[in-house]
Amino acid sequence: MSELLKVHNISKTFRRNQVHALKNVSFECDKQDVISVVGASGSGKSTLLRIIAGLEIPNEGEIILEDNKINSSEVFLSPEKRNCSLVFQDFALFPNMSVRENIFFGKNASKNKPMIEELIEFTRIKNLLNRYPHEISGGQQQRVALVRALSINPSLLLLDEPLSQLDNELKHQVRNELIHLIKKVGATVLMVSHDIEDAMYMANKVLILNDGVVDQIDLPSKIFNLPSSSYVARLFGKTNILPFNDFSYIKHHFFDKDRNEEVVSVRPHEFKLNHSNPSSKNPEIKGKVLSINAIGAFYEILIDTGKFELLVHIDKVNQIKTADDLSLYIDKK
Ligand code: ADP
Ligand code: MG
C-alpha cells in the first residue's frame, strides 16, 4: 500500500445535539502530501482532525495509518498509540510547564533528542527554553507547539488552523517558516485552514468539506479553476455563478443544487475589455457600469447587462466611470 493515510467512509453524529458533523468522508493521503482541509465554519474540519488523532470516535468508517488500522468497527487505537500529532488552533501549551518541559513532554520525545535539538535551533527558540508559555509571543508559542508536535517524530502532522491566531504581518512570516519546517522534516501534513491563500501557498492538495461532505479533493489550481460546485467556487474567492445556458462556450460547468441548473464560474479578472483583444473568439457582452471601486491596481466594477449583474476586475490603466457602456468578453475557454 503506497498511501500513508486512508480514510474510508467516516461518519460522525454528535449524539447530544444530533449534528451530523461528517458524512461518509473518504480520502487518501500519500507520504509527504500537504493537504489543506478547507470549508465554511461548522463544516466538520476540526472533527475530522480530532477523529484521525483519536480524540473523537466516529460512528462509522475505517482509518488506516501506515498500514495499521487505527479505527474500524472493532478497533480504536488510543491517541498516544497513534503515530500522529495534532497542533490545536490555540496551540494548547501546558501553562505550568516551561517551553523545554512542553517540548519534551511526549513519551518518546527523549529518544529523539538530537532531532529535537535541531528543530529548536531551526525554529530559533533556544533562548526561550526556560520561559513559560505566557512569557513568549503568539508566533513563538506557535513554533513551540510545532516542535512539541514533531518531537515524537510523527508520521502524520495534523494542524488545526495553525495561522489563525496570528496577526496579518506575523502570519506571512510564520507561514513561510512553517513551509520550511514541513520541507525540512519531510512531514506529511493535514492542515485545516479557512484562509484560501494559506491553502494555495502551502498545500499540494486541497480537500473541500461542505456540511460534513467532501465536495472536492484536488490540486489547488484545479479547485480554483475547475470547481465542482458553487460552494467550492465561492470558497476560493469572488466569482460570478452564471447559467451554462447563456455561456455554453465555457467548457467547465457544474450543477448548482440551489438554482437547479447547470452553471459556470467566471472570476472577476477573467472579464476583459473588448478593445484589448479584438481577436477574442468569445462573444461580446455589453453592459452598463452600475458602480466602481478602485482596489489596489484594479477597478472592481459592477456591471448590468440587462440579464445579469457581473462583478468584473479591470486594470486601472483604463478610464472607466459610472454609467459608462462597456463591451467585454470572457477570456477563458
Ligand atoms: P469546523 O472546524 O469546520 O468549524 P467542527 O468540526 O468544529 O467544524 O464542527 C462541525 C459540526 O459539529 C458543527 O455543527 C459543530 O457545532 C458540531 N460539533 C463539533 N463538536 C461538537 C461536540 N463536541 N458536541 C456537539 N456538537 C459538536
Ligand atoms: Mg474548527
Q: Between β-strands 156-160 and 189-192, what pairing exists: parallel, antiparallel or unpaired?
A: parallel
Atom of ligand 1 nearest to the CA of 50: 6
Ligand 1 center–CA 21 separation, angstroms: 6
Enumerate the domain spans of the chain.
3-223, 238-330
Structure confidence by residue, pLDDT tens digits, 119-176 = 999 889 999 999 999 999 988 998 999 999 999 889 999 999 988 877 878 888 888 8
With a 6 Å cutoff on the Cβ, whether 46 touches ligand 1 is: yes
Q: For residue 159, what are the β-bridge partners?
A: 87, 191
**What is the pLDDT, as a whole number, of residue 278?**
58
Please state the pTM of the whole predicted model. Answer: 0.90
Q: What residues does the ion ligand 2 have nearby, CB within 5 Å?
A: 46
Q: Which long-range contacts (CB under 8 A, 24 or more apart) does 29-33 make?
A: 29/3, 29/4, 29/5, 29/156, 29/188, 29/190, 30/2, 30/3, 30/4, 30/188, 31/2, 31/4, 31/188, 32/186, 32/187, 32/188, 33/4, 33/188, 33/189, 33/204, 33/205
Count of C-beta atoms within a 10 Å radius of residue 37: 29
11 neighbors 59 (Cβ within 8 angstroms): yes
Cell matching residue 25: 468522508
- Please, what is the average pLDDT of the chain? 92
Atom of ligand 1 nearest to the CA of 47: 6
Atom of ligand 1 nearest to the CA of 209: 3
Q: Name the CATH superfamily, with its identifier, for domain 238-330.
A: Nucleic acid-binding proteins (2.40.50.140)
| Fold agreement (3-223, 238-330) | no
Q: Which long-range contacts (CB under 8 A, 24 or more apart) does 243-247 make?
A: 246/307, 246/308, 247/330
The CATH classification number of 3-223 equals 3.40.50.300
212: Cβ contacts below 8 Å, ≥ 6 apart: 12, 20, 21, 22, 23, 25, 43, 44
Each residue's pLDDT tens digit in the chain (333 positions)?
A: 478 999 999 999 999 999 999 999 999 999 999 999 999 999 999 999 999 999 999 999 999 999 999 999 999 999 989 999 999 888 899 999 999 999 998 777 888 899 899 999 988 999 999 999 999 998 899 899 999 999 988 999 999 998 887 787 888 888 888 888 898 888 999 999 877 888 888 899 999 999 999 999 999 999 999 999 999 999 989 999 999 999 999 999 999 999 999 999 999 999 999 865 656 678 999 999 999 999 888 999 999 999 999 999 999 888 899 999 999 999 988
